[in-house]
Chains A and B, each alone.
Chain A
Amino acid sequence: MSTTSGPKTMNPAWAQETSSTDIIGWVLDTLVHSSNKGLAELPGLAKEFSAKVTEDGKTVYTYVLRKGLKWSDGQPLTIDDVIWSFEKIWFDNDMTANGNAGYMDSNDALPTIKKVDDYTVQFIYNSKFRRGHESIGWTEILPKHVLEPYYKEGKFKEAWSLADLKSVVASGPFVLKTYKEGVRVVLEKNPYYYRKDKNGVQLPYLDQIVYVIVKDLNTERLKFEAGETDIYSPTAEEFPEIRAMAEEKGWVVRQGGPNLGSNFVTFNFNAKDPVKRKWFRNDHFRRAIAYAIDKQTLIDVLYNGLGAALYGPVSPSSGFYNPAVEDLGFRYSLARAKRELKKGGFVFKGGKLYDADGNPVKFELTTNAGNNVREEIGNILKENLSKLGIDVNFAPMQFNALVGKLVATGDWEAVIIGLTGSVDPASGWNVWRLDGGLHFWNYSPEVKPKMFDDELKADYVVPDYEKRIDEIMRLQVSAVDKDELRKLFDEFQMLVAEHQVLVYTVAQNYLIAYKKSVHIYNPDPNPAAGVLWAGWNIWKDQ
């Protein structure tokens, strides 16, 4: 296999990039595994797990460990490892890069941990809380016997860094054998792994997984073509070519649903210019923009037709996707865009668009330079909007400068940007809540006092739909009932799509190619669970 970059650290609490977390995922196991739809419902280190809401309104998550678990150094993996990992590391804000907010319920409280017996542990929240299962179940369990000395010396952050890879022990199917920076990562089968197949053969089947680090995408492809690597993720551009060669070369080529991340256009409700602010807050204006985005052309141009149009905040690949957002009809139509603009009080005069007060409509659009997809979206949007008489000045800027404008100064008008997505829409709470740290299109003056002068502060408005979305994001936290949760998320998606709070664009499909000799276990690879899902079941012809 090839990867563009090696791990930066093997410490799961400080790993940020997928280059690190991909490798850690092989080495450190979690209590619960995800299904191939990306839902936390399969047993991992825990053979049984349950969530219960007690009569006094508490939520109790119970996990029962498998018997006879061992670390790759032969030491037993016990309930004490589980408790130590959470108590000392994951629940401590200073011990991890992401902080402990992910484990907190709606009252910002952490659960108490209760050891029931030698194999059973309970996490008790004092409120109704639904997310505990994912956040606790998907957390890596750490070896107390190895890491406690670091912790006691106050050096946990440096544990398992590149200078300290020898002390890494594994609970997952593979152990880290060698890592040569910039060259490759070699993972070797963990002899103490707890899974056996039906015939009692110790899993994983593969003896080794080798990640070859190749920065350049062209080289990565050449290596796959020369047969040096077994699995390759082609770009949409080269996918048809790879597909054409598949027969002759003995490859399997597959396509899954659209990726979970998103690219959208966002308008600053609190733009410095009061005239523009008024347009951006106007629902009709944003809807008109949505009509003016030619999604099919974008998919054809950017992804060779191998993509999907997005109409709402949740990816169609997610189990929570509400297909009703497609029925709102935000498909490319300049006529509808014009109608929508007229409804919003805009006037066409001599091929140019003016607002009700006679100001010509023009704005600055930006994105992070170097992102081809976003730059292309910007170019096509600019052209389409010019047909509506809207003058767009599209000037991409450097990523850091853009982030500064978005989250610090608020000095921007319109931006094309994307955020990482996941199956659960609630992972975006930080984006959608009114007091969220990433609610950049309409920050509250309390969250970002520096962005607001007195005049702007007086003009701060929260539309009703935003209030409701905020409410949903708070309610879903305690929606333990599945139907109730789905209803909330359905409403959330409809609200965002109907008002085009963020104007969503397109996403590329999951694309993969691998040699026929590699037998992938996942029947249906998709963005939530790729070809490596349940990797201990993968095998290869000799």
Chain B
Amino acid sequence: MLKYILRRIILAIPVLLGVSIVSFMIISLAPGDFLDSYRLNPAVSADQVKNLEKRFGLDKSPVVQYFIWLKNILKGDWGDSFTYQIPVWDLIWRRVGATLLLSITTFIFTWGIGIPLGIYAALHQYSLGDQIVGVIGFIGLSIPNFFFALLFLFFAAKTGGKIFPVGGYISLGYDSFPAWKKFLDILWHVLGPMITLGTSGLAGTMRVMRGQLLDELKQDYVEFARAKGMPENVVIYKHALRNAINPIITALGFSISGLLGGAVLTENVFGWPGMGQLIIEALLQQDIFVIMADIMLASVLLVLGNLIADILLAAVDPRVRLRLG
């Protein structure tokens, strides 16, 4: 097992290298660079722009820039953000807390509600409950996130911000709250973005779960189990469900890579201080090292997520064997 994991990790290195080359070149190919806003600023002279170009290393060709970047990374230096003048990881770590809080609560919301609802829908196929659950799911799926977020905030504002807060991360008086209230305050604020993101993911999980389980329930072995008088609960939860869960686990692996990705539109509307906001600003300003660090982070998480999904699959499904080949 350990050998398998090690091998997967070694295989990931060329993948990551490839990702870094392609993304670095694409960013460099985009017209302009970080200093463009300086170039159009009447207060900055052309000499000073040249001076800064040299200092930021933007006067070299993209290929040279890439190798300098790579060399520095091997030394452990991921570069400084041009805008903030601090190391990029410093910048990213500051956002990790809020990002993880939102993505993990959303994750729990989507999967914690989606799977049971999917199972319910499959077991009561074509019943009124199934229809209602389906409709709710599709409404969540079809309303764009930013619009749902606005509706949510509109509701919050009309009720005077008492039931739900009008966006944000903490309340005005946060600093004077006792510790337990601080904790509750943040949880209260996460509800809005969580419900927004959660409802859009809900339908997907629910429908996959429902479809898979229905497929399994039509299999011969289920009929056989029932025929031999096995209790319905055991048939469904011990046999059919375990077989149906595989695609869900694969999807779970993928969602691990999204944990630190942030959600730009929803974050913007709610004023949630997550990674998405940071990255979109970096992209607009062509703050290249911040973008690269984020891309690399996402790639590593994707590789890890897949690995974890594969291991989990082997754990839940004895038919799956991890082979070195």
Listed in ascending order, the chain A residues whose CB lies under 8 Å from chain B are 5, 8-9, 11, 14, 16, 93-94, 97-99, 101-102, 157-158, 161-164, 178, 180-184, 186, 210, 212-216, 218-219, 222-223, 225-228, 398-401, 403-404, 406-407, 417, 419-420, 427-431, 437-438, 447
Contact = CB atoms under 8 A, between A and B. Distances in A.
Contacts of B324: none
A235 to B, nearest CB: 16
A218 B47 CA distance: 41
Given A8-B84, A162-B84, A219 B166 contact: yes
Nearest to A428: B42
A183 B273 contact: yes
A97 B272 CA distance: 30
A214 B39 contact: no
Contact of A182 (B38, B47, B87, B274): B274
Contacts of B168: 183-184, 212, 214, 223
Contacts of B271: 182-183, 212-216, 219
Given A180-B169, A215-B268, A403-B32, 14 more contacts: A163-B86, A178-B175, A182-B95, A183-B168, A184-B168, A215-B271, A218-B269, A223-B167, A225-B157, A228-B172, A400-B31, A403-B40, A438-B40, A447-B46
Interface in B17-70: 30-33, 36-49, 51-52, 55
Contacts of A403: 32, 36, 39-40
A162 B90 contact: yes
B249 interface: no
Contact of A186 (B43, B154, B175, B274): B175
Given A404-B31, A431-B42, A210 B85 contact: no
A158 B169 CA distance: 28
User: Counting chain A CB atoms within 10 Å of each CB, which of B38, B52, B85, B272 scores highest?
Assistant: B85
21 contacts: A5-B281, A11-B85, A93-B48, A97-B48, A98-B41, A98-B44, A102-B43, A163-B87, A180-B273, A182-B278, A183-B170, A216-B271, A219-B167, A222-B153, A223-B157, A223-B168, A225-B157, A226-B161, A401-B31, A403-B40, A430-B42
Given A162-B94, A219-B271, A403-B32, A183 B169 contact: yes
Contact of B269 (A157, A186, A216, A427): A216
Interface string B65-80: 0000000000000000
Contacts of B272: 182
B40 to A, nearest CB: 6
B35 to A, nearest CB: 9
Nearest to B41: A420
User: Counting chain B CB atoms within 10 Å of each CB, which of A5, A184, A210, A401 scores highest?
Assistant: A184
A-B pairs, 4 with minimum CB distance: A400-B32, A182-B273, A99-B48, A437-B46
B85 A400 contact: no
Contacts of A431: 42
A150 B153 CA distance: 45
Interface string B141-173: 000000000100110110011000011111010
Contact of B170 (A8, A162, A180, A227): A180
A428 B40 CA distance: 11
Nearest to B272: A182
Contact of B52 (A97, A427, A429): A97
A476 to B, nearest CB: 15
A225 B175 CA distance: 24
User: Counting chain A CB atoms within 10 Å of each CB, which of B30, B94, B167 scores highest?
Assistant: B167
Contacts of B36: 399-400, 403-404
A220 B161 CA distance: 14
Q: Which range contains the number of B residues in contact with the other chain? A: 35 or more
A181 B274 CA distance: 9
Given A94-B51, A182-B273, A400-B286, A226 B160 contact: yes
Contacts of A216: 167, 268-271
Contacts of A420: 41-42
A381 B68 CA distance: 47
Contacts of A102: 43
A427 B277 CA distance: 33
A250 B47 CA distance: 52
Contacts of A9: 84-85
A431 to B, nearest CB: 6
A215 B277 contact: yes
B91 interface: yes
B98 A182 contact: yes
Nearest to B165: A228
A223 B150 CA distance: 12
A401 B30 CA distance: 8
B85 A98 contact: no
Contacts of B48: 93, 97-99, 101
A158 B86 contact: yes
Contacts of B274: 182
B47 A99 contact: yes
A406 B94 CA distance: 37
B51 A161 contact: no
Nearest to B45: A101
Contacts of B33: 400
A158 B80 CA distance: 10
Contacts of B160: 226-227
A438 B52 CA distance: 17
Nearest to A430: B42
Contacts of A210: 172
B86 A161 contact: yes
B288 to A, nearest CB: 12
B153 A181 contact: no
A161 B84 contact: yes
B294 interface: no
B86 A222 contact: no
A223 B175 CA distance: 20
A19 B118 CA distance: 47
A226 B165 CA distance: 10
Nearest to B44: A98
B265 to A, nearest CB: 9
A218 B32 contact: no
A163 B89 CA distance: 11
B133 to A, nearest CB: 31
A398 B33 CA distance: 12
Contacts of A5: 281
Interface in B74-130: 83-87, 90-91, 94-95, 98
A183 B156 CA distance: 19
Contacts of A157: 85
B273 to A, nearest CB: 3
A417 B270 CA distance: 32
A404 B32 contact: yes
A222 B91 contact: no
Contact of B47 (A101, A180, A399, A400): A101
Nearest to B275: A182
A8 B90 CA distance: 13
